[in-house]
Amino acid sequence: MREDFLVFGRPQIEEDEIAEVVATLRSGWIGTGPKTTAFEEAFRTLIGAKYAISVGSCTAALHLSMLVSGIKPGDEVITTPMTFCATANAITHVGAKPIFVDINPKTLNIDPDQIECAITDKTRAIIPVHFAGRPCDMQKLTALAKKHNLMLIEDAAHAIESDTPQGKIGTIGDLTCFSFYVTKNITTAEGGMITTNNAEWAEKLKIYALHGLSHDAWKRYSDSGFKHYEVQFPGFKYNMTDLQASLGLHQIKRVDKNLKRRESIWRRYDEAFQNLPIKIPAPTSANTIHARHLYTILIDVKETKLERDAFQHELFKRNIGTGIHYTSVHLQPYYRDVLNYQPGQFPAAEYISDRTLSLPLGPSMNDQDVEDVIEAVHDIFKTRASVNSVQVEIET
């Protein structure tokens, strides 16, 4: 067993980021400023969108996207229950109702073939989530959105590198929301980005993200001189800072290199676990790029003789950190009790929710870290018969 604890989602922070942050601190310009603008441009270029607007989090990105789309109280927005609560929360924040559609159990993404049955005269948008970095079926989703005149707002928190035959994620939907949280493939500790090809929305997003102040307010953050501003909307304090952007400017330079490293770890996991009684992620679809954000295995008690939570605890005892992505949102108390969602409504999402476990995956891991994870998983199966505290009775 390894001596130190392997932190799940540990970020890769190198000397370039540290030096950039120190330089920003010494410059005296630590709020929103030129480095934020530079990071926006670097990300816009990476994705290939016309506009990229930085914000304080992906949650802020989703909320603002709801607002500029004109989604209002009483509207309905279709999304997946297999996501972090922020996706549904952003819909709720504008007074709309999240309408969940079950997932494809192989891809863990929303099942486009079930969406049309959920569309009503109140439906205004679809929010697909590119789970773990695997791109959704954008051909079917764009066709559905066009057919029913719906907004397509992508939750791409996991999908910075993802690509499809229809284009790179971030260039297909009307608005796309990215995350730079500490565990993400690019991190600014906290932060997010919205990409769009619509100039009017881009302008509104800038205004809404900074208290609703007119665009001239941003000139306060430059050396061009003071400019008066006007409050055009009761906006929010959602702007990114130069301290955050200082990390992102160097993280973005390693995107391709880091993706190759995650692909290498992914292949090693696939090889090491293929003969174990666990389910490993399905192969990537042809002509797509998977961002490899999460490596999720499924722990089925009937096959492993251990429940998922017990399996996770055994890994913890062996100093291996893990994550659970996710407890299906419709089972969370608020959405269950207030919006009256019930167990059994989305069986595929619930099946995954009860069994999913994310193993460490990231460029900060060295080869020994990877082998430690593999050894720990194998060791659990070797010793499970003697692990009395986690044994369960299997139904026949």
For the stretch 175-193, pLDDT in tens is 999 999 999 999 999 999 9
Give pLDDT, residue 392.
39
Residues 232 and 102 in one domain: yes
Mean pLDDT calculated for residue range 116-145: 98
Query: Which of 254, 273, 292 is the C-terminal boundary of a domain?
Result: 254
Give pLDDT, residue 230.
84
Higher pLDDT, 230 or 204: 204
Residues labelled as active-site residues: 184
Give pLDDT, residue 213.
87
Please answer whether residues 77 and 99 qualify as being in contact, where contact means their C-beta atoms are separated by less than 8 angstroms. Answer: yes
Residues 368 and 286 in one domain: yes
First to last CA, the chain: 34
Residues 297 and 328 in one domain: yes
CATH assignment at residue 54: 3.40.640.10
Q: Calculate what percentage of the chain has a pLDDT beyond 90.
A: 90
Contacts of 172 (CB under 8 A, 6+ apart): 138, 142, 152, 154, 164, 166
Domain span holding position 55? 15-254
Above 90 in pLDDT, residue 216? no
Distance CA 355, CA 164 (A): 28
Instruction: Report yes or no on 246 lying in a domain.
Output: yes
Give pLDDT, residue 300.
95
User: If DSSP codes are grouped into helix, strand and coil, which group holds residue 304?
Assistant: helix
pTM across the whole model: 0.95
Please answer whether residues 198 and 224 qualify as being in contact, where contact means their C-beta atoms are separated by less than 8 angstroms. Answer: no
Above 70 in pLDDT, residue 86? yes
Strands in the chain per DSSP E = 51-55, 76-79, 97-100, 123-127, 151-155, 163-164, 167-168, 175-179, 192-196, 295-298, 356-359
Closest C-alpha to 249, from 90, 2, 18, 11: 18
Q: CA-CA distances (angstroms) from residue 100 to 14, 95, 127, 139, 352?
A: 40, 16, 10, 20, 15
Instruction: Report yes or no on 126 lying in a domain.
Output: yes
Closest C-alpha to 318, from 253, 378, 365, 385: 378
Distance CA 207, CA 213 (A): 5
Instruction: Report yes or no on 395 lying in a domain.
Output: no
Q: What is the mean pLDDT of the chain?
A: 94
How sure is the predictor about 215, in pLDDT bands with cuts at 50, 70 and 90?
A: low
How sure is the predictor about 121, in pLDDT bands with cuts at 50, 70 and 90?
A: very high
Distance CA 258, CA 262 (A): 6
Give pLDDT, residue 222.
58
Instruction: Count each helix (H run) and each strand (E run) in the chain, helices first.
Output: 13, 11
Mean pLDDT calculated for residue range 313-329: 98
Give pLDDT, residue 126.
98
Give pLDDT, residue 388.
41
Instruction: Report yes or no on 371 lying in a domain.
Output: yes
How sure is the predictor about 311, in pLDDT bands with cuts at 50, 70 and 90?
A: very high
Distance CA 172, CA 388 (A): 51
- Laid out side by side, the sheet with 76-79 consists of 51-55, 192-196, 175-179, 151-155, 123-127, 76-79, 97-100
Residues 100 and 192 in one domain: yes
Residues 348 and 217 in one domain: no
* Residue 30 dihedral angles phi and psi, to the nearest 5°: -105, -10
Q: 217-249: per-residue pLDDT in tens?
A: 556 555 566 667 889 999 999 999 999 999 999
The separation between CA 175 and the C-alpha centre of its own chain, rounded to angstroms, equals 15
Instruction: Report yes or no on 236 lying in a domain.
Output: yes
